[in-house]
Structure 1
């Protein structure tokens, strides 16, 4: 595998309003590693974060540098969802479908709950999405997971079964929910794919040989190292994840991070970069 010159890690957010002016948790943080130099930036809205990422990728490509960009949200859904939603069993089709329906303005106002309810209405029974605030009332989006039944979708992807502490993509609201980040994040991946065309690969769905490679990451893989860091946890996670990947690359172990099991579901569901290499990632940070 060709090495990366620049490594970017992004902590995404599904906030419905701009994050505070002062750097805060549960916001958008983007870490960059290049040539041993690290930088971390804070962004109050998804529009600002996406603009910063696009500009960074444009600049790196113009400079002839290869980029790995990791994002902390799921790149796919359990097998069967893509075909049920779009008629095609491809994660790219889901990204395009969501990009056409998720409205997400410059102030973070978005319609993710309404879109989830629309999707649920097309499935039998109740679900698979769940979790919402009291308002708006959405009859097709239950507030509680136990209210779902008969929708026919698996609860977890193969990678989430391998990493049980990872939350299910169907949960959109309350403590630990990650499903909302997926709904607002996948449209961004679609727009980046359209912008950079064949120069960009979305791993593991596309061959990982593009000048820009986007990958799903799960910063909790390096929790033991993050716990000892001062300051805002989200900022530390992306900074240390970028550093750990860079150090493993320097040690000739980049291919290990991109290894996946021999499971046909992964071609539709995706996989988390570095699963199975948790010990190596943490050890790289202690070096």
Structure 2
């Protein structure tokens, strides 16, 4: 059976502030074939998200020149629970509208400083005018619309905590975190906010040769 992809690129993203290597930084792994078609892997560790984005662009560009079909995977959510875009009163396809909204609001500087907690608070203000559904922040980032801890049970009960894919997985042994959680062990909310604008830029640079699964592929 023919291979679906000629190379696979997996990025372990981060929402951390400040330049650093090692733990809580950007790691990118590549699996591809050499000139003799033997599979091998390479690993990259960069100090900032800007460097990570530049490296992803470089790697993808190199494979495109060779005519390779490449699968890129990232460890953050590409979407939000059903109804989020509607609660924010966004127009258009929900996933694309969310991506556009996030890209327009997130400021992620070259030194890794970013405003993800302020954006989370804005989402709460627009959705509920309360400190939910997004939650979790260091004490210095807490404010009227974003708390350090999870809201009381029943808060925002009409807003799904998980996406459909997570609800399905949670029926088994795996217990994924909700994208609403911004801070704490295993939280993915911050990575999602700083990650989506990067993926959006990658797709724009790729044009019709790039697509995001499942939204752009079916």
TM-score (norm 2): 0.88
Counterpart of 2:127 in structure 1 is 123
Counterpart of 1:87 in structure 2 is 91
Counterpart of 2:13 in structure 1 is 12
1:42: Cα distance to partner?
A: 0.3
CA distance in 1, matches of 2:106, 2:151: 26
Deviations 1:72-99 (A, max 9, x none): 1111000001222223342122112111
CA contact (8 A) 2:142 2:148 kept: no
Corresponding pairs, count: 205
1:123: Cα distance to partner?
A: 1.6
CA distance in 2, matches of 1:137, 1:166: 24
CA distance in 1, matches of 2:158, 2:103: 24
1:105-254 paired onto structure 2 within 5 Å: 105-124=109-128, 126=130, 127-147=132-152, 149-150=155-156, 152-164=158-170, 165-207=175-217
CA contact (8 A) 2:135 2:151 kept: no
Give the gaps of 5 or more residues in structure 2.
34-38
Q: CA 1:26 to 1:73, structure 2 compared with 1: closer, same or farther past 3 Å? A: same
CA RMSD of aligned residues (A): 1.7
1:193: Cα distance to partner?
A: 1.3
Counterpart of 1:97 in structure 2 is 101
CA contact (8 A) 1:125 1:151 kept: no
1:56-75 paired onto structure 2 within 5 Å: 56-75=59-78
CA contact (8 A) 1:77 1:157 kept: yes
TM-score (norm 1): 0.68
Give the gaps of 5 or more residues in structure 1.
209-287
CA distance in 2, matches of 1:176, 1:56: 28
Q: CA 1:58 to 1:177, structure 2 compared with 1: closer, same or farther past 3 Å? A: same
CA distance in 2, matches of 1:197, 1:98: 20
* Range with greater deviation from structure 2 (154-163 or 81-90): 81-90
Q: SS in structure 2 opposite 1:122?
A: helix
Counterpart of 1:233 in structure 2 is none
Alignment partner of 1:31 is 2:32: no
CA distance in 1, matches of 2:3, 2:100: 28
Relative contact order higher in (CA < 8 Å, ≥ 6 apart): 1
CA distance in 1, matches of 2:118, 2:25: 22
Counterpart of 1:54 in structure 2 is 57
CA contact (8 A) 1:124 1:151 kept: no
